[in-house]
Structure 1
């Protein structure tokens, strides 16, 4: 009888300890959320948080199994910086702070969000470099940072994110060359590097991106020849490479222009198979229209 009591008592203690651990973890995550609130002037958000309510009821916050897994504060009048404690939200899979007025630099601990699948920070005022450790976010499928003030090079480590489908770094102040490692992103469907200060030749390794549907490299300082490997991009529907410094466009001659909806180059001898209205059919890469896919799900 005593042994049974001891066993039941042990189970109760273990259960209580796990419950306390869970509450402790959620408490740490709650603090990270409050840090975000305070550092981005949360009292003036369009939809603010009521701290007297459970976290599950806070606008844009999703909790699963007592962990914060998603934050969607798209177009919510955030003003300020992203706190370093954002890295404490270890279970976060979606972070959408797009179309706000966020300033400062990307916190270095953002690369601690190992479960992150979607990171959307476009249309803000974020400056500084993209963290070199961004390539450690192995689960990332979408990285959208367009229309900020980011500077420095595109990290070589981005090529390590093998499941990446959308990479949009357009309309920033990025410099240097396009990393050869981009060619490793075999699942990439959308690549936007529009309107930066990128230079050098386009890596021939990008010809391996056979699932690529949109490629926008316009308004940079890219040079050299267009890789002949572009002829392998059979899924490509949108190609914009105008306003660069290319020496030759011969690499495009093997492309079947019938596949395109948008086809923009500086070589006027290259024409799409059929006419289309460029004002009507526009790529999401070069267009910063006020919309967000997450809000349409």
Structure 2
């Protein structure tokens, strides 16, 4: 008897969970995403006649869409601007698809977003300035696209940001001053872009940094010795830029460090390592 009651309870609970639905407006946005990215050719398709709670990669909580994870699912097309109206979205992961066009300019409307992963697609254009309004964003992952332009100047407003991964794009310009205010940043990976300018001595403010990869850019000047003060830093790759001067031995010993640089004429050369007893700060003066 008890087993039958439990079975009935589980059946009813499951049925209720399937019936739990989202607003028509949110459902329409998901359908628009399906249509704009050639849903009929997805690896795992949505049955538009079935409850949204059964749709692959869609996470619902309290009858609201809070997550979309459609990584490696053969999405081909563009992102509909309406996706920025999913105001409760905390995760948008479209890694490894064939999405083209630009990142919606008003993506900053996604106030609750914590993870944005649009990497390994065919996106063009710049990183929208409005992204700096997503105050709880923890991961910004846009590597392997065709993005251009400069980093948003107010990126330092993203106080909770832990990962910036933008390698293999066509991004340029100097790092914004505000970038060095990201005290929770653990990874800064921007290799194979066209960034220029110097590394600021304010890099010592990135106290949580574990991985720094600036490989293959157009940066120059002296590598600040105070990078070596970052106690959590484990992996560093600054090679194939146009840095000059000496490198502190403690930095040169970091995992992945390469002394090879590239002159303005394209000729490769190696930086020299300096052992100093005066201390890191003194060597920077």
Task: Please state which band the TM-score falls in when normalised by the shorter chain.
Answer: 0.7 to 0.9
- State the match for 1:275 in structure 2: none
Q: Which segments of structure 1 move beyond 6 Å, counting only runs of 4 or more?
A: none
Deviation at 1:256, TM superposition (A): 7.7
CA contact (8 A) 1:182 1:205 kept: no
Matched, 1:127 2:121: no
2:206 to 192, 196, 209: 209
Aligned partners of 2:131, 2:106: CA distance in 1, in Å? Answer: 10
1:265 to 259, 268, 272: 259
CA contact (8 A) 1:106 1:130 kept: yes
Matched, 1:240 2:237: yes
Helix, strand or coil for the counterpart of 2:203? Answer: helix
RMSD, matched Cα: 1.7
Helix, strand or coil for the counterpart of 2:130? Answer: helix
Instruction: List per-residue Cα deviations over 1:32-52 (Å, max 9, x = no partner).
Output: 111111110011000010011
The count of corresponding residues between Structure 1 and Structure 2 is: 246
Instruction: List per-residue Cα deviations over 1:272-295 (Å, max 9, x = no partner).
Output: xxxxxxxxxxxxxxxxxxxxxxxx
Aligned partners of 1:75, 1:239: CA distance in 2, in Å? Answer: 29
- State the match for 2:27 in structure 1: 30
Helix, strand or coil for the counterpart of 1:262? Answer: coil
CA contact (8 A) 1:228 1:254 kept: no
Aligned partners of 1:29, 1:270: CA distance in 2, in Å? Answer: 57
Matched, 1:53 2:50: yes
CA contact (8 A) 2:75 2:97 kept: yes
Instruction: List per-residue Cα deviations over 1:67-117 (Å, max 9, x = no partner).
Output: 000000000000000010011100000000010000001111211100000
Matched, 1:84 2:81: yes
- State the match for 1:66 in structure 2: 63
- State the match for 1:218 in structure 2: 215
Unmatched tracts of structure 1, length 5 or more: 1-21, 272-297
TM-score (norm: length of structure 2) = 0.83
Aligned partners of 2:273, 2:97: CA distance in 1, in Å? Answer: 40
Deviation at 1:156, TM superposition (A): 1.4
Helix, strand or coil for the counterpart of 1:108? Answer: coil
Residues 268 and 222 (structure 1), Cα distance of their counterparts in 2 relative to 1, 3 Å cut: closer
TM-score (norm: length of structure 1) = 0.79
CA contact (8 A) 1:63 1:70 kept: yes
Aligned partners of 2:240, 2:59: CA distance in 1, in Å? Answer: 43
- State the match for 1:115 in structure 2: 112
Deviation at 1:181, TM superposition (A): 1.0
CA contact (8 A) 1:193 1:217 kept: yes
Aligned partners of 1:249, 1:208: CA distance in 2, in Å? Answer: 22
Aligned partners of 2:142, 2:84: CA distance in 1, in Å? Answer: 18
